[in-house]
Amino acid sequence: MILDRRTVLTGAFAGVLALPAPLRALAADDVTRVDDLIARMTLEEKAGQMTCLADSFRPYNPPNPAAGIQDEKRLTDEIRKGRVGCLFNGIGVVGARRAQEIAVKNSRLGIPLLLAGDVIHGLKTIFPVPLAEAASFDPALAEKTARAMAIEATAAGLHLTFAPMVDVARDQRWGRVVEGSGEDVTLTGLFAAARVRGFQGRDLRRDDSLLACPKHFAAYGAVAAGLEYGSVDISDETLRETHLPPFGSAFAAGALTTMAAFSEINGVPATADRELLTDLLRGEMKFRGFVFSDYTADEELIAHGYAEDERDAARLAVLAGVDMSMQSGLYVRHLPDLVKSGAVPMATIDVAVRRILYVKTAIGLFDNPWRSLDENAEKTRIATAAHRALSRESATRSIVLLQNDGILPLDPAANRTIALIGPFGEDRDNVYGPWAFYADPGKGVDIATGLRAALPDAARLIVVKGCDVARPIDGGIARAVERAKNADVVLLAIGEAQDMSGEAQSRTTIEIPAAQQALADAVAATGKPVIVLLRHGRALALHDGVANAQAILATWFLGSEAGHAIADILFGNVDPSAKLPVSFPWESGQEPFFYDRKSTGRPVIDNRTEYRARYATTDNSARYPFGHGLSYTQFELTDLKLSDAALRWDRAIEVTARLTNKGKRKGSEVVQLYIRDRVASRTRPIRELKRIQRVTLASGDSMLVRFSLSRTDLQFVGTGSRIIAEPGLFDLWLGQSSVDGLHTQFTLYAQEATKG
């Protein structure tokens, strides 16, 4: 479905099409201005608007290999010629103003540049990695942190961030699990929308509004064996039911750009997939913004074996629906000749350019090319005390208490010695996590610093490294064991380094590195109580001295305030309330693993395991399931009730239960509602999350939690890719994780049965 001028005008002024609100609000003068520019542009200038290059005026580009133009002089010349529409991954107002001045004052048409960057979980103030923040099960918190990121990013001269990543990730071997919101469709959709709202704010023309770019369209999280840049072989039903809905949530929240995936889907690379990027994205999903390629992904069509050469790659990408080519330079080099030869219609180019210029118009760039380029804002809005406080709050809300025999919380006033053992005790190089390359090194709070600040007597903390992240240290284990024996309690700070998660960090084994496991086993053998502080960007398979610790905290990569946040949880200043957005397997070999799997014809029932769907070494369950997370208090759900056991076709039922804090402390719980379609024309998952509600209660207090369910919550993708709901019996659980919980059933009645 090609978006021509008439289509855009119809949507912009009549609201017939599902255009995002900022584009619906374009004034007639804006449309006229864009039309006038397109009429005056040369083919080379049109291709320039469709080109995004690395920012050589203020270079930051560590996540990607060097490619294309990498020096300011050449880039300046390209901008003067109108051959660049967007710069990315540079920050700083002075350099940005210099680049923008060249575009506005020295190019023929004066079209301003769009300035983009990878602000994934913070600019200077670093918040928890997205996967960690998803553990809060609180989209409102993510909206707040995204807003803070936008304030800092725009103060540093950016208009757009290549975030949020909304890929549903079900294989923990994939390194980019860390960038998303986990394995569940509903949770990922909630966080996708929240982050888009937070980044963009209420008014795109404000100088602190940051365009969002949900990625990677589509199903990048389904790469085979969790292998980065790998292939995806997927049914249409799974694509539509699992991987597309979070994008729909992001677009509904107002996202005006998206990015095509590196991977192929069913033999066609996403960057050249017209069925995906045009028929589905623009036709069915009604997306009206523009599409970026990923970094040099159009050029990589050659390596895929899908394009003959650069010229063919550019042709395939633009015809598929990629509007802006990132870093390869293929569009500038080849689109003019492709149009002149008739291989690419001029109308295709004009549609792409119009999409890009409409987005630039929507954020007010033509009226104010200097928006988000204020040196005073750069001095006052970055790394503020308020943002640090929010980072600490977000970090504490992201820590998951996986197990606890009662040892936590620790009393900071108790007269006991604490041994902090492990490579991350005093480490500041790995507190931020991957994708935080704008952050100032060494300014994150390490664990030891956070603990000392919380202890009345800092001398009671003994720190010993024991080993490096991946290698033993001569005598390291012996020294650690000696310190452990002389301590009352051991904090074991172990896990992954930040360069073990993120892009290009697929791993065949998702376990604690061998050197650290040996350290953990030796410390556990002393018999002293051990509290494990896991640092990680994915779910891990835990073993022996780690798995059997008295308490385990999943602390992820928590950002700038990591040490303080960990101390807040350890000493009970904040009650842990986070839940796992990913399932922790028993073994690496269980991956891909996710809670909403199918039962198979031979499920494990009542511990009967022979000739059942299980591995020979473990059954098909999780050590710590999706949605799991303990508290320092005790919550109890009772009195599950439905307003009606019959759900009428066009009605809703109300689900209620009473949540009581039976413990001695104030705390927060996340109540989770799951369903199962018992019999359907396609097999359905054993559970599906449909609702979450966070509740905070004082000791002894209770409240009634309420949810509403309708037929649309029961829909799935059926034959012919149609979204359907089928009458029949449904299970419903209300619980505190994806296992167990209060159970009841209801019946969806057919439409005909509701007449009269």
Amino acid occupying residue 481: V
Query: Which tokens hold the place of 503?
Result: 């892009």
Q: Is the dihedral of CA 281, 282, 286, 290 positive or negative?
A: positive
Judged by phi (left if over 0) then psi (alpha if -120 to 50, else beta), residue 6 lies in alpha
Task: Look at strands 652-661 and 702-710 and give their pairing.
Answer: antiparallel
Q: What is the pairing mode between strands 257-260 and 290-292?
A: parallel
Annotated active-site residue in 273, 294, 446, 596 = 294
Going by the DSSP 8-state scheme, the letter that residue 472 receives in this structure is B
DSSP characters for 703-740? EEEEEEEEGGGG-EE-GGG-EE---EEEEEEEESSSSS
Length of the chain: 756
Tokens 């028929």 correspond to what residue?
A: 279
Tokens 């529409």 -> residue: 85
Number of H helices, E strands in the chain: 23, 30
Two tokens at 486? 């002389």
Strand-strand pairing, 584-585 and 635-642: unpaired
Q: Is 294 a catalytic residue?
A: yes
What residues pair up with 421 in beta bridges, in sequence order? 464, 492
Coil, strand or helix at 142: helix
Q: What is the H or E stretch that residue 51 is in?
A: strand 51-54
**How many Å apart are CA 404 and CA 402, to the nearest integer?**
7
Cα torsion at 738, 664, 558, 402 (round to 10°)?
-40
d(CA 36, CA 29): 10
Q: Which residues are catalytic?
A: 294
